[in-house]
Amino acid sequence: MRRVIPELGLNVDKVLIVSTNADKLRRYEHAFDGLYKLKSALLSGTDILGSLGGFIPDCVVVYAEGLTRQKMFPLMDVIEDERYAGIPVILVADPEDQRLYHENLFKDPDYITDTSVAAGKLLDVVERMILSMARPKHVLVVDDDVVALRLMKSYLEDKFKVTCVKSGEMALKFVEKQFPDIVLLDCFMPGLDGPGTLQRIRYLENGRNVPVIFLTGNSEKDMVMKSLSLHPSGFLVKPVKREELMKRIKEVLG
């Protein structure tokens, strides 16, 4: 799996697993754990989309056994949500359940296999789907300097989806609802500074494992030392050159 960066403890890609079978759901969670950022849901007629918050996966795996139209209603909400447009869907189901899925959902799966598929084979399929339909990675840039934000956005916007915010408080509100792939975080900001922001990000479900690169000035050595205990993914000294920035992001995201 090329996307895993064990030495940094990061899982870059995101997978949503939906299953009608609780035992199978647990088995898939175990097989995928450590390879991807995971969300999972039991397909039982209860709301799925609402429980996902801002989680937008790179691939959706649906294990369907004993489907009914009622069970599929929450799945319809997910598959037909515009935020999930273009995200590959893998359907694990036998012929009758494949037929029910096809009759009730507007979007056909991107890959179909039967319920006898081995977990290793399914992992290979997920990786191929992600590679073939990769979305731009989402970078959150946090800096109280508007000029610096504009510069960073100009560096990144041709390769990434970029969101810029002007404070640590705004960053926390964003991470509460969204899953950025990486955060570029200014160390020294009025109010909530960089280390304080990262400390609070780590308490958020969406921010527990997100890689964070600190942006620092040459005179901020004390701030850098304060930040080391938070285990950031690196530091970049401002003003940051585009080549250096792109290289560091590539190293972190793989």
- What CATH number is associated with residue 212? 3.40.50.2300
Q: Which residue has the tokens 């290793």?
A: 120
Q: Are residues 221 and 144 in the same domain?
A: yes
Q: Are residues 98 and 167 in the same domain?
A: no
Distance between CA atoms of 49 and 71, rounded to whole angstroms? 14
Q: Are residues 63 and 115 in the same domain?
A: yes
Strand 10-11 with 4-5, pairing: antiparallel
Helix intervals (H) in 44-107: 49-52, 69-79, 95-104
Domain boundary among 132, 160, 179: 132
Q: Are residues 180 and 110 in the same domain?
A: no
Q: Are residues 39 and 152 in the same domain?
A: no
Distance between CA atoms of 102 and 168, rounded to whole angstroms? 45
Structurally, how many domains does the chain consist of?
A: 2
Contact 58, 28 (CB under 8 A): no
Give strand ranges (E) for the chain.
Answer: 4-5, 10-11, 14-19, 37-42, 59-64, 89-93, 111-113, 138-142, 161-165, 182-186, 212-216, 234-237
Q: Are residues 236 and 168 in the same domain?
A: yes
Domain boundary among 132, 158, 184: 132
Length of the chain: 254
Tokens of 198: 């990262």
Tokens of 37: 């950022």
Q: Are residues 145 and 121 in the same domain?
A: no
Q: What is the pLDDT of residues 173-211, one digit of tens each?
A: 999 888 888 999 999 899 999 999 999 999 887 787 889
Q: Give the closest residue to 208 by CA, choosing from 231, 190, 229, 242.
A: 231
Q: Are residues 127 and 160 in the same domain?
A: no
Q: Which residue has the tokens 């359907």?
A: 91
Q: Are residues 87 and 173 in the same domain?
A: no
Residues of the chain under the 70 pLDDT cut:
1-12, 134, 218-221, 223, 254
Distance between CA atoms of 205 and 11, rounded to whole angstroms? 14
Q: Are residues 14 and 119 in the same domain?
A: yes
Which pLDDT belongs to residue 134?
66
> What domain range includes position 197?
138-253
Contact 52, 177 (CB under 8 A): no
Tokens of 29: 């969670």
Distance between CA atoms of 142 and 140, rounded to whole angstroms? 7
Which pLDDT belongs to residue 4?
44
Which pLDDT belongs to residue 47?
83
Domain boundary among 115, 132, 149: 132
Which pLDDT belongs to residue 34?
84
Q: Are residues 116 and 45 in the same domain?
A: yes
Distance between CA atoms of 185 and 149, rounded to whole angstroms? 11
Distance between CA atoms of 124 and 147, rounded to whole angstroms? 44
Q: Are residues 163 and 128 in the same domain?
A: no
Contact 25, 42 (CB under 8 A): yes
Which pLDDT belongs to residue 223?
67
CA torsion 120-125-129-131 (nearest 10°) is 60
